[in-house]
Amino acid sequence: MNTTPTSSAATFFDLKSGLITGDGVEESVKLLSQLEGLFHDEAAWRKMDPETVVYRVRFWRPVPDGTKGGLFWGATYLEPGKVGDEYFMTHGHFHAIRDRAEYYATVSGTGALLLMNEGGQTWSQTMTVGTVHYIPGGIAHRVVNTGNEPLVFLASWPSDAGHDYASIRTAGFGKRILERDGMPCLI
Ligand code: S6P
Ligand code: ZN
């Protein structure tokens, strides 16, 4: 497949804020209403404003989605907050093509990267400024903001990886990060 970028212009990344800008940069927004069924305290989720922005993703796809051999990159801006005792988090996904890996690197904030294999075994890695996380193929990934400020991280993933959100909607992750005595706990 052709992996030549459709544009020769560079994109820009602000080291402090993590803001990605430039020609062809796209943005998606995830509202609380779009995360139905993912937080364990459904009653708490129902009481909150469904229009609450939980996170934004700004990303650059220099080659078409599905291109074999290319790479995408983007930044996620995950707001601080909780649904009941559960911290705001990304939806989480496996890659549709299971063996596709990914890098995450933390720009600001603190949190946890939840990782899960296809058997449901789940573990976490701490995210703080400067941490770099290699997510191997076949591993579902979700980010949880356990701090009081936005958690910003960069990601780079193969352009043919795709996203499998359905498996997470059905089975969830094997563990959650919940607040216990004011501290985040993997439960
Ligand atoms: C893409 C990469 C990230 C996430 C983003 C939002 O492979 O892992 O850009 O898309 O952090 O998470 P999610 O689970 O809603 O896609
Ligand atoms: Zn991914």
* Segment holding 51, helix H or strand E: none
**2 or 94: which carries more pLDDT confidence?**
94
Single pTM value for the model: 0.96
Q: Which domain holds residue 160?
A: 11-186
29 CA to middle of ligand 1, Å?
11
Q: Is residue 98 part of a domain?
A: yes
Q: Is residue 3 part of a domain?
A: no
Q: Residues with Cβ within 5 Å of ion ligand 2? A: 102
Q: Is residue 28 part of a domain?
A: yes
**DSSP bridge partners of 113:** 125, 143
Q: Is residue 16 part of a domain?
A: yes
- Which one, of 79, 81, 78, 73, lies nearest residue 104 by Cα? 73
- pLDDT(105) > 80: yes
Strand order across the 86-87 sheet: 82-83, 86-87, 177-180, 183-186
* Segment holding 175, helix H or strand E: none
Q: What is the CATH number of the domain that holds 52?
A: 2.60.120.10
- pLDDT(30) > 60: yes
Q: Is residue 52 part of a domain?
A: yes
154 CB contacts (<8 Å, ≥6 apart)?
A: 13, 18, 73, 74, 75, 103, 104, 105, 107
Question: Among the atoms of ligand 1, which is closest to the Cα of residue 142?
Answer: 14
Find out whether 80 and 88 touch, Cβ atoms under 8 Å. yes
Number of structural domains in the chain: 1
Question: Among the atoms of ligand 1, which is closest to the Cα of residue 143?
Answer: 11
Q: Is residue 56 part of a domain?
A: yes
Alpha helix segments (H runs only) across the chain: 42-47, 166-171
Mean pLDDT of 54-71: 98
